[in-house]
Amino acid sequence: MPTDTPHSIVTTAGASSVRRKTVGDRQKTAQRLLRSSAERAYDGELDIDWDAPIAPDKRWVPEHRQSLYGTKLWDRLTPEQRTELGLHELVSVLSFGIVAEAGLSTMLLRTVLEGDGLADDHTRYALAEIGEETRHSTMFSRLVNLTGLPPYVPPGLGRRLLRFTSMIPLGPSAYAGTLLIEEILDRLQREALNDTDVQPHVRQLMKIHVLEEARHITYAREELVRAIEARGPVSNAFHRLLFAVMVLGVYPVLVNPKVYRSVGISPLHGFLAAFTSPNYRVNATFAGEPLLRFAHEVGMLDGAVTRLLYKLSRTVPQDVLDEFDRKAA
């Protein structure tokens, strides 16, 4: 059932319902996901009308999810500047999505290369998901092209750091990191696709992405649980810490600070205003809530240092923070 928010509706129809206690046989899950992939496959090249004109009266993203919303800088922007900034923020997120999904595909390829069952259903589903992720990146790039803006490419240092993601050992942090990308985008898109004030191209892209990402989230959630259960306390503590660092860093990089130049604001000024805004926690918690509740359930939020990093990230729901405090008392 949909969940009401102060601004719009977040649909949960078709969302992954995996919990720790519901994780079943790996091959049976793969068989079910393969059937779903065959029955409910989409192609952004064909299922979005790229020749349709851009609607001049529509926004690119919901205003209340824009990074400067609720700040003094936001109050100074004209309606046209707010729309322009939203366009640039969308392109930034799509650019991030292309890079992130390439990283996810790399991790999936490693599961094939390092796994034992080259010809089983689990491996076949990993290969099927790689194909879907590739189509998603193609779809994202199409929308970037439609906007007429160049993509926001990560800076040189950022690209070099991305190389280290291929060195992260397969295990809980790899699957949790996969979920971090997939579930944050899924949560934001589930809200935006219901917003009739958002561009039709954007809403259709988000609909396709949400429908297919539900399978990917199911796969990664179950693999996360299996990976935790296959390891001892020391190994799991390492992976928990690594995931906490990922959570701390991911939300701030969704929006490239260079977007603020589009409305005459310096990147540093815009970043600081967004990062220190009370609305930052509202948006970060909204985006991360489904994942972090699941991560808490499976033990990925345990540990004093880990919990400190989560508090600094400002992504954890308040009731979970309260539980942290009760355990620390």
Mean model confidence pLDDT for the chain: 87
Query: Residue 324: pLDDT band by 50, 70, 90 thresholds?
Result: confident
Please give the full DSSP string across 33-82, using - where no structure is assigned.
Answer: HHHHHHHS---HHHHS-TTSPPPTT-BSS-GGGSTTTTSHHHHHS-HHHH
Query: Residue 44: pLDDT band by 50, 70, 90 thresholds?
Result: confident
245-297 confidence digits (pLDDT tens): 989 888 888 899 999 999 999 999 999 999 999 899 999 999 989 999 999 99
Reported pTM: 0.89
Question: Which pair of tokens denotes residue 89?
Answer: 């923020």
243-258 in b/e form (b: 16+ CB < 10 A) is bbebbbebbeebbbbe
Residues 6+ apart with CB under 8 A from 310: 244, 247, 248, 292, 301, 316, 324
Q: Across residues 194-214, what is the average pLDDT?
A: 91
**Among candidates 147, 219, 233, which has minimal Cα distance to 183?**
219
Q: Across residues 31-42, what is the average pLDDT?
A: 88
208-255 confidence digits (pLDDT tens): 998 888 899 999 999 999 999 999 999 999 999 999 998 988 888 889
Q: Are 37 and 215 in contact (CB under 8 A)?
A: yes
Q: Across residues 299-328, what is the average pLDDT?
A: 87
Q: Across residues 103-128, what is the average pLDDT?
A: 88
Does residue 157 surpass a pLDDT of 70? no
Does residue 64 surpass a pLDDT of 70? yes
The pLDDT of residue 3 is 39
Q: Identify which has the larger pLDDT, 15 or 304.
A: 304
Rounded to an integer, what distance in angstroms lies between the CA atom of residue 315 and that of residue 217? 19
Q: Across residues 195-207, what is the average pLDDT?
A: 93
Cα distances from 284 to residues 47, 93, 250, 267, 314, in angstroms, run 31, 14, 10, 20, 7
Its sign, for the CA torsion 245, 5, 98, 228, is positive
165-184 confidence digits (pLDDT tens): 666 777 899 899 889 989 99
Torsion angle defined by CA atoms of residues 25, 29, 35 and 41, in that order, rounded to the nearest 10 degrees = -170
Q: Return the axis-axis angle of helices 172-192 and 233-253, rounded to nearest 10°.
A: 30
Rounded to an integer, what distance in angstroms lies between the CA atom of residue 307 and that of residue 300? 10
β 9-10/3-4 pair status: antiparallel
Does residue 84 surpass a pLDDT of 60? yes
Q: Are 305 and 241 in contact (CB under 8 A)?
A: yes
Query: Residue 61: pLDDT band by 50, 70, 90 thresholds?
Result: very high
Rounded to an integer, what distance in angstroms lies between the CA atom of residue 195 and that of residue 210? 15
100-114 confidence digits (pLDDT tens): 888 888 888 888 888
The pLDDT of residue 158 is 65
Cα distances from 88 to residues 67, 91, 188, in angstroms, run 11, 5, 16
Rounded to an integer, what distance in angstroms lies between the CA atom of residue 11 and that of residue 2? 4
Does residue 118 surpass a pLDDT of 90? no
Does residue 13 surpass a pLDDT of 60? no
Class of domain 69-328: mainly alpha
Per cent of the chain over pLDDT 70 is: 89
Cα distances from 120 to residues 23, 70, 127, in angstroms, run 19, 51, 11
Does residue 5 surpass a pLDDT of 70? no
